[in-house]
Amino acid sequence: MDMHTVVVGTSGTTAQDVIAVARGNARVELSEAAVSALAASREIVEALAAKPEPVYGVSTGFGALASRHISHELRAQLQRNIVRSHAAGMGPRVEREVVRALMFLRLKTVASGHTGVRPAVARTMADVLNAGITPVVHEYGSLGCSGDLAPLSHCALTLMGEGDAEGPDGTVRPAGELLAAHGITPVELREKEGLALLNGTDGMLGMLVMALADLKNLYTCADITAALSLEALLGTDKVLAPELHAIRPHPGQGVSADNMLRVLAGSGLTGHFQEDEAPRVQDAYSVRCAPQVNGAGRDTLDYAAVVAARELASSVDNPVVLPEGRVESNGNFHGAPVAYVLDFLAIVAADLGSITERRTDRLLDKNRSHGLPPFLADDAGVDSGLMIAQYTQAALVSEMKRLAVPASADSIPSSAMQEDHVSMGWSAARKLRTAVDNLARIVAVELYAATRAVEIRAARGLTPAPASQAAIRALRAAGVQGPGPDRFLAPDLAAADAFVRAGKLVAAVEPVTGPLA
């Protein structure tokens, strides 16, 4: 069932609405103001189309072919042709949630009244979303300049009743059949409308919005698992004191330290770092500097959210219809602002994965774990414990480092050198999605190892923090087993991964800690 109805107006949208439509199947409606703005801008386009002077996107070709003036009788064909020719994607299908976000965000720009699209076209876009029809969009075809051209073209093709789409039952069928089954009349595109449906950063922006939501959860989870590892290693929580972080006032650092401190409140394991079998003056960097690393990542998320909010409030098209009646070419479709933060997020996700893996490795190494059994095994030698779980985590971290190489540092010219500098923002978004998936798995492995280690300490008479106990109970209730002889590990790791992604780790500890940031 739909969560709620999202009303699309003239002034952009919110991240929450994007996620509601993309992931929650929320219903979409156009506001009265949007319908009025659409009608007004369409009048401007039709007036310009009637004039003998050529206007880019209205009565000319596109890109490197913009110098040709197109006669009235060929303009409908021109709009159909641009959609058909640009629907040239290849490779695997893009996820349903990404396509829904892309379609919704294109509707957001259309509804701004700056594109010259008729209200009927915008209503059809909403109808397709509401029917649960998802165009088949392919992995490759966008350079992130002139927008996400091929992905958006495959969506526009569905509006025309052409190409393939997935129905609400998950079956791929010809788009025309799906539209007919839901009583939707295919659109017949007129001047500028084909171009207006293709020119935008909607795909990369949708993926940015969803990545930010996922990473927010993962950063809170990483604060929790870092605290669990500190506890399992008998580390000191003195490094989390607010006064220490106040003298280096990066906001995220203070938030992460506070999260960790609240998770560790009441622990009987912390503070033994100078008393155990391998005393040390201070904890290792991966333990002691967790707030600094996690916090810097949080600050990066905040910056990326600012960029996303600006883009969500934008009207991205070329040319655009201005209120005074001008239709002007511009470069607002260039994806650079979005591409940069997508790459930045892949960098911080890789570093968070890296520090997380180092703590896991420390938990498993008897020379550095301060009395824990080798690999947290039940009977080391007979049992291998979590040895290979750490291998898997290390492999994920290694891939994260490759995914952190920025896509936006690259550019490849296209359209006969007319589009001679591109953002590669779509590519940055696609690799960030993989990075986010990998990070969830990496955090899940630390959770699996740290909870086992804490339970081993508890069996020896030390009392874990109440929040740690709550996390362990919830994890075990979710089917993830605790210490014991070797068993088939993959199902446990998959269950821990699902536990983290679904927000269940945060939900488990917050009744004890209060809301975590």
Catalytic residues: 56
Map tokens 């996400």 to a residue.
Answer: 148
Straight-line distance from the first to the last Cα atom of the chain, in angstroms, rounded to the nearest whole number = 30
DSSP labels for 456-489? HHHHTTPPPPHHHHHHHHHHHHTT---S-S---H
Write phi, then psi, for 439 (nearest 5 degrees): -60, -40
> 497, 507 in Cβ contact below 8 A?
no
Dist CA 89 CA 103 (whole Å): 16
Residue 60 pairs in a beta bridge with: 69
User: For residue 43, what are the CA distances in angstroms to 40, 107, 314, 324?
Assistant: 5, 19, 22, 12
Q: Are strands 327-328 and 320-321 parallel, antiparallel or unpaired?
A: antiparallel
Residue 72 DSSP one-character state: G
SS in 3 state form for 379-411? Answer: CECCECCCHHHHHHHHHHHHHHHHHCCCCCCCC
Tell which residue, 123, 124, 63, 128, has the closest CA to residue 99. Answer: 128
Dist CA 431 CA 429 (whole Å): 6
> 152, 82 in Cβ contact below 8 A?
no
Name the token pair of 135.
Answer: 């165009």
User: For residue 391, what are the CA distances in angstroms to 73, 365, 397, 433, 489?
Assistant: 64, 13, 10, 22, 12
Q: Which amino acid is at 458?
A: A
Three-state DSSP class for 199?
A: coil
Buried b / exposed e along 396-418 (16+ C-beta atoms within 10 A): bbebbeebbebbbeebeebbeee
Dist CA 169 CA 421 (whole Å): 41
